[in-house]
Every structure is written in C-alpha cells, then in structure tokens.
Amino acid sequence: MFVVGLTGGIAAGKTVVSARLAERGAAHIDADRLAREVVEPGTPALEAIARRFGDAILRSDGSLDRAALGAIVFSDPDARRDLEGITHPAVQQLSQQRMREATEADPARVVVYDVPLLVEARGTGEFDRVVVVHAPRETRIERMVSLRGMDEADAVRRIDAQATDEQRLAVADDVIDSSGSLDETLAQTDALYDRLAELAAAKAGAAAKAAAADKAADPDNACASRITPPVRSQQPRADQPRPSSVSGRS
C-alpha cells in the first residue's frame, strides 16, 4: 500500500489537486467525510460522545448537533481533547479500512488521503509521501474574499487558526504551487501523479518479492502479502529546506 498525505491551507486549491489525482487513477479518501461518517446515528463514536457530553448534543432525529457540540468543545480544551480521544481512533480505523479496500484489486494503486489538518492533528508517520498544495497567504485571502464572498477579517481569522505555511512546508515531500493559473496547477499535478505511480509500483513490487521470498523459505507460515509501512518523523521538521514546486525528494 502506497499512501500519500495531501494537505494545504484553506483556499490553497487542494480540491483541484485531489480531483485531478483521482481522475488520473488515484484512490481519494477524504478525512473530513470520514469524520462525519464515524458520528452518524447508531455508531459507537456517537454513543460515546452522547455519554460524555449528554443528550443535549443530539438532534431530535438522533443525529449529532454539531453547533451544540462545538459550543462546548471550542471553549473547553479538556472537552475538546475528550472529543478527539473518541473521534480520532474511529477515523483512523475507518481510514485504514478504506485504504485496504482501495488497494485490494491493485496493490500498486496510489492512495491519496486528503487531510486538511494533517500538520495540526494527524501527523506524517503513516504516509509514504506528504504533498502540500501551497499558495501565498495574500493569494488565499483574496480568493476567500472574491470567490467565497467572505469578509476579509473573517478570512484572516480562519487562516490564522490553521498551521502556518512554514509548518506545512516543513513536512512536505512534494509541493504543488497553486498560485498560478489552473492549467499550471493541473500540469504540476499530472507530473506529480506520474512520479507517485512509479513509487507506488516500486513499493508493491518490493513487497511482492519479499512475500515470495518468505513463502519460499517457509511455505507453511509465510504471510500471503507484506505491507511495508513508511518510516517518517511524526513532527514537522522545522530545519528542513523547502521543497521546490512539484520536485519532491526521492
């Protein structure tokens, strides 16, 4: 399994990049969507949230009242940590399941895990590569104001609530510079996909050879397949040079 962590600040153009990668054949898994799935009515996570925070965070139909829950956790760090302790493991488990399903037919398929808060919450240790979609702060503010009709002060607050550009770039293996035209961004993304596909094929090939060697050495106990997990630092590397656009580290 070859898993790419895709992240970027608000209005950086991550949606464009993820859609293009999916068009090229990558499996796209959206962390935000999984986070909604794990708290649907009847799920263990929602039951645990209700036990911790009370039935007041539930709507009349049994679904989660996100506004009511947000009013609690955004003003109470301990409550927020309790919530994360419930939801993060559930999202982690579901994401691993979706990754396995996405690569069951093709172990060399690129899996793109779309994580807006990768730096802030997820960490980089489980990914073979980290891709950051980057546009300067001023460009993103302008996009939020002109394209989304957002007040400039509100746009600034939302950007400031996320990791800084420097923090994201410090963990990047590959950077897509989305500050130019759409065609330029798509061309960078196509070049990135070609490189990721090569790396994914190489990893799948190495795993297959290792599994065959295991089977030959001990046919009774060899695993049918072997997944080699990536080895990465869990913390952003502040002293790391900024990768050039679309040219990642090998």
Q: Residues annotated as binding site? A: 11-16
- Could you read off the pLDDT of 74-133 as tens digits, one per residue? 888 899 899 989 998 999 899 999 999 999 999 999 999 999 888 877 677 789 999 999
**Residue 177 β-bridge partners:** 134
Average pLDDT, the chain: 87
Contacts of 151 (CB under 8 A, 6+ apart): 145
Domain boundaries, the chain: 1-26+109-250, 34-107
Report CA-CA distances (Å) from 197 to 2, 25, 31: 9, 9, 22
Report the pLDDT averaged over residues 230-234.
50
Q: Residues annotated as binding site for ATP? A: 11-16
pTM (predicted TM-score): 0.79
Spatial separation of the C-alpha atoms in residues 2 and 202, rounded to whole Å: 10
Looking at domain 1-26+109-250, its CATH superfamily turns out to be P-loop containing nucleotide triphosphate hydrolases (3.40.50.300)
Residue 119's pLDDT is 86
- Could you read off the pLDDT of 147-159 as tens digits, one per residue? 888 889 989 988 9
